[in-house]
Chains A and B, each alone.
Chain A
Amino acid sequence: MARSRTAARTARRPARAAAPAAAPADPGFITVRIGKLPGRIDTIALNGGRKVADALAGANLDGNGHEIKVNAAPATMDTDLKQDDTVLLVRKIRGNA
């Protein structure tokens, strides 16, 4: 029976033992995306505190007059952050006219 070239190469390839999964090293910091909407969104590292307030301070952003969203969900200054979270300050608007 004819085999495809891919199948033939796979058949000749020696089997490898799966490498044991290494525990990820804790770098001591997390990175989060942060910005205003509308506005630019940057990535920053948090070395110490890992709350929204720490991220805003690290990004030099003032949350006054804005809603806070973490990964699109409502949040507060005390919300804990984790790696790759997105923190956004959203303007309060009302128009339609």
Chain B
Amino acid sequence: MSVDPLRHISVFPPHAFGARRVDVIGCGATGSRVVLSLANLGVENIHAWDFDRVEEHNLANQVFRLKIDPSLPDGEPLPDGTPNTDVGLLKVEALKHIVLGKTGVAIQSHAEKVDGSQPLGEVVFLLTDTMSSRKEIWEKGLKFKLQTRLAVETRMGADNGRIYALNPNLLDHIRAWEEAWYPDEEAEVSACGASISVGPTAEIIAGLAVWQMVRWFAVEEGGEDALDNEIIFGLRSTNAISRQF
């Protein structure tokens, strides 16, 4: 049993996308939504990577559940004796259950830190939380690696975001992305030093990120479109700019 793509098939035909492999590296606020959105579109060969466990503070801005079975009283475990919550589970394992239940798609979960040495697919969503990890994965696993034809990388602020969509084998794209990279020390953080994470902002970023893959595939299929390689938006006031590399 799977989700019926009838309402979006003219925009994204999952049968044509077929078994192309899509890797999502980082399953936090953006990544957990991207995985669910891809599965809703009918993408079947999804590999989700994250080594973190779900913590209580993740529930406000990620897709994970306070209760897996909301009909059970607070504190009562599931019939198999496990806790009735995603809190404490590996993010990729919780996500696997959520996506399977919502869409029927069985994602491949990888509870490990990606450093670029792992095999990656034709489409890669690079959604980690530090600039240094992005750079490491870019250098070892994406740059000039022919198997990946679309890399989508996002960055989230409280009320603003960035989406990069590029071919890591094109010199112009490589040069432009590397110029758009900056060290973690230069990036804004919250007062407590952690990265800022607001659910509605993550919704927008995840949606735009998946849209870039939809557009990329439309071009692959002969459609007339051209990716926005860099999208930057702000929500107070609402403004966006984009450019092509």
Q: Assuming A74-B179, A97-B195, is B160 touching A92 (CB within 8 A)?
A: no
- The contact of B127 among A65, A72, A96, by CB within 8 Å, is A96
Q: A91-B160, A91-B188 are in contact. Are A97 and B237 (CB under 8 A)?
A: no
**Within the assembled complex, what's the spacing in Å between the Cα atoms of A8 and B2?**
62
Interface assignment of B95: CB less than 8 Å from any CB of chain A = no
Q: Which residues of A lie under 8 Å from residue B157 when comparing CB positions?
A: 38, 91, 93, 95
Is B241 in contact with A37, judged by CB distance below 8 angstroms?
yes
Q: 1/0 per residue B27-49: CB within 8 Å of A?
A: 01111000000000000000000
The answer on a CB contact under 8 Å between B235 and A96 is: no
Cβ contacts under 8 Å, A95 to chain B = 29, 129, 155-157, 195-197
**Complex interface: chain B residues within 8 A of A40 (CB):** 237
Instruction: Among A36, A72, A92, find the residue whose CB has the most chain B CB atoms closer than 10 A.
Output: A92
Asked if B241 and A88 make an inter-chain contact with CB atoms under 8 angstroms apart, the answer reads yes
Chain A, residues 63-97, CB within 8 Å of chain B (1/0): the string is 00101010011100000000000101011111111
Closest to A73 in B: B243
Name which residue of chain A comes closest to B130, CB basis.
A94
Residues of B with C-beta under 8 A to A93: 155-157, 160-162, 187-188, 196
- Chain A residues proximal to chain B, CB less than 8 Å: 35-41, 65, 67, 69, 72-74, 86, 88, 90-97
Interface presence of B59 (CB below 8 A): no
Any chain A CB within 8 A of the CB of B118?
A: no
Known A-B contacts A96-B31, A96-B129; the reply to A39 vs B188 at CB < 8 A is no
Q: Is the CB of B155 within 8 A of A94?
A: yes
B236 within 8 A of A: yes
- Do residues A38 and B187 form an inter-chain contact, with CB atoms below 8 A? no
Main secondary structure of the interface of A (DSSP, over half): strand
Identify B235's interface contact among A36, A38, A88, CB under 8 A.
A38
In the complex, which residues 175-202 of chain B have their Cβ closer than 8 Å to any Cβ of chain A? 179-180, 182, 184, 186-188, 194-197, 202
Contacts of B159 in A (CB 8 A): 38
Name the one of B131, B179, B241 contacting A94, with C-beta atoms under 8 angstroms.
Answer: B131
Q: How far is the CB of A91 from chain B (nearest CB, A)?
A: 6
Q: Is the CB of B243 within 8 A of A72?
A: yes
Complex alpha-carbon distance, A37 and B233, angstroms:
7
**Proximity string of chain B (13-38) to chain A, C-beta cutoff 8 Å, 1 when within and 0 when not:** 00000000000001011110000000
Query: Which A residue sits closest to B244, measured CB to CB?
Result: A72
For the complex, what is the distance from the CA of A69 to the CA of B240, rounded to whole Å?
12
Interface residue ranges of B124-156 to A (CB < 8 Å)? 127-131, 154-156
Distance A67 CA – B176 CA, assembled complex (angstroms): 14
Q: How far is the CA of A8 from the CA of B24 in the complex (A)?
A: 64
B203-245: CB near A (< 8 Å → 1, else 0) gives 0010000000000000000000000001011111101011100
Are B237 and A92 interface neighbours, CB within 8 A? no
Q: Which residue of A lies closest to B176 (CB)?
A: A74
Contact with B186, one of A65, A73, A96 (Cβ below 8 angstroms): A65
| Min C-beta distance of B73 to chain A, whole Å | 31
A65 to B183, CA, bound (A): 12
**Which chain B residue lies CB-closest to A38?**
B234
Q: How far is the CA of A72 from the CA of B242 in the complex (A)?
A: 6
